[in-house]
Amino acid sequence: MGLLRDVDFNQTRKNAVDTLKNYRRLQRITGRSKIDIKSPIITDMPKSPSQGNKAEDALLQHINAEGELNAIIAGLMSLSLTSRAVLYYSFCDKERWTNDLIGMEVGYSRRQVDRLKREALIEFAEAYKKGKLIEFR
């Protein structure tokens, strides 16, 4: 038995991809107004009691999305420039980039971009929330 456990690299990459795929959605959520203010509608019709507070729920969703977005950004910022660029263009940019386009942008072939992306996903998994995405065997 060694001091370090074996890392399941395939599952770790999948965890990193799943986290990074949320980036665009989180960005849309945090771009919304923190609280949607609506005028109350006054009517004489009976109303069933509401369960929960819509404004509070929207605020909590916004705060949680902001925290997750900041954690993803912090993980990306700890990577090398090339790894960060490959992951940014793959998962974070508003436009969806192909590996060919990413390769032209960063100066590598599509095959090298595939290899760089696999390595960058492992690096991101290590950096994101102090290794939270790393999966062990």
What is the identity of the amino acid at 21? K
Please give the pLDDT value at position 33.
47
Hey, is 136 helix, strand or coil?
strand
| Residue 94 CB partners (closer than 8 Å, separation 6+) | 24
97-127 tens-digit pLDDT: 999 999 999 999 999 999 999 999 999 999 9
Q: Which amino acid is at 30?
A: T
- Measured at the CA of 129, the angle between CA 124 and CA 135, to 5 degrees, comes to 65
What one-character-per-residue DSSP string does 26-95 give?
HHHHHHS-SS---PPPP-SS--PPP-S-HHHHHHHHHHHHHHHHHHHHHHHHTS-HHHHHHHIIIIISSS
DSSP secondary structure code for residue 7 in this structure: B
Q: Which pLDDT tens digit goes with each residue over 30-80?
A: 885 444 444 456 666 666 655 667 778 888 888 999 999 999 999 999 999
5-39 pLDDT per residue, tens: 799 999 999 999 999 999 999 999 888 544 444 44
Residues contacting 65, CB < 8 A, separation 6+? 26, 29, 30
* 2 has a pLDDT exceeding 80: no
**Cβ atoms within 10 Å, residue 105:** 13
Q: What is this structure's pTM?
A: 0.80
